Amino acid sequence: MVRFRRPKPFEALADGTFRVRLTPDVRRFLVRLGDEIGEIVTLDIPETRRLFPTAYPNDPDKDAGYRILARDGLVDQRQTAADTLRATADNEILTEDELAQWMSVINDARLVLGTRLDVSEDDEPDLDDPDIGLYLIYDELGYLLDSIVKVMVTALPEPDDDDDPLNS
């Protein structure tokens, strides 16, 4: 994919919050994304298989039990994250928790879309592919996800030498 220089969409601020620099169109897209993810996580469809991976691949009975116990909680977490993204999409400043919720929704959407497109790390979409628009969305979600991870890492406190196991 061709990469263009563009401003960083997120900036860590000294007070532990994050400035959001996204266009109104991207913000509207994220609201729709939150709507779709909030809905799709309730469905048991092939596209969501990476959101709810098999816990016990060699034991179908244990795996069925795990799904019964864990799926509702995972769905609730994902819907809460989608609600947070929709509620804060127009905010210029986000808390660390709000940005983490955004990251969760964007990651989930990327997993669902990647599963639908059956992408791999080596894939380069053909510009004539009828799904090129979906590949471009997948790529943009990857850019946003990468930007969030990078800005959150920069906001982490420096490790204390006393806490570093390599200095022990």
pLDDT digit string (tens) for the chain, length 168 residues: 556 677 799 999 999 999 999 999 999 999 999 999 999 999 989 999 899 888 899 999 998 888 888 989 999 999 999 999 999 999 999 999 999 999 999 999 999 999 999 887 777 777 787 888 898 999 999 999 999 999 999 877 777 766 666 665
Confidence at residue 2, expressed as pLDDT on a 0 to 100 scale: 59
Q: At what angle do helices 24-40 and 60-88 cross, to 10 degrees?
A: 150
Confidence at residue 164, expressed as pLDDT on a 0 to 100 scale: 61
The pTM of this model reads: 0.85
Please give the Cα distance from 35 to 90 (Å, whole number). 15
Q: Residue type at 80?
A: T
Please give the Cα distance from 158 to 118 (Å, whole number). 39
Of 132, 156, 153, nearest in space to 1 by CA:
132
Confidence at residue 163, expressed as pLDDT on a 0 to 100 scale: 61
Q: Which residues, at least 6 apart from 16, have a Cβ–Cβ distance to it below 8 Å?
A: 95, 96, 155
The answer to whether 96 and 155 are in contact (CB under 8 A) is yes
Confidence at residue 127, expressed as pLDDT on a 0 to 100 scale: 79
